[in-house]
Amino acid sequence: MRDELNGSEGRRAGGDVLGPDGKVIVPEDVASAIRTLIRWAGDDPTREGLLDTPRRVARAWKEYCAGYGDDPAKHLERVFEEVGGYDEIVLLKDIPFQSHCEHHMAPIIGKAHIAYLPRDHVVGISKLARVLHGFARRLQVQERLTAEVADCIWDNLKPQGVAVVIEASHACMTARGVRTPGVTMVTSRMMGVFRDDERSRKEVLALMGRGV
């Protein structure tokens, strides 16, 4: 494949072809589609301020959707069995994330709380955030995102329990349609002891700041 801008051979990285400037080369059909969208929205894609916009938008969307090239489960492969007898809840709280809804491709901006009760081992705490981002950087609905994060941790760490709570604002509702800013959607998934044992569920929700 050749660089559409200068004719030189591109370099491959992560499945994308890069130009000499290190930027992802945008296929002409993708750029053309974005120009069509700009024109349909009512502007002129040939005016100076919009000339490079199609390629900028395309590259931005490659970044927004980087999760399609990520296997979140791989972040949970390395575990630590030396936990010094620790057998209580592990919680990563207020993890900021961004995603895009699959219905309008509008931004979803929020935070997640991810907890698990270890059985025999633990994982590096940053890995929980990596699992979240791996699923969030795709076209999503919040309900599925919540389930995917919880299921991934449950299936790979085999803990006694998993709890995931996500709070997010959806631009498809705040910036269009009913246009109701300030509204937050909350979803949760409880597994294992956090689903079956009321006391454990109340404890983890209290740690998340969502106790009742």
Catalytic residues: 101-104, 142, 170, 172
140-148 own/partner pairs: CB under 8 Å, 24+ apart: 140/99, 140/100, 140/101, 140/102, 140/108, 141/101, 141/102, 141/103, 142/108, 142/110, 142/166, 142/168, 142/170, 142/185, 142/187, 143/187, 145/99, 145/187, 146/187, 146/188, 146/189, 147/189, 148/72
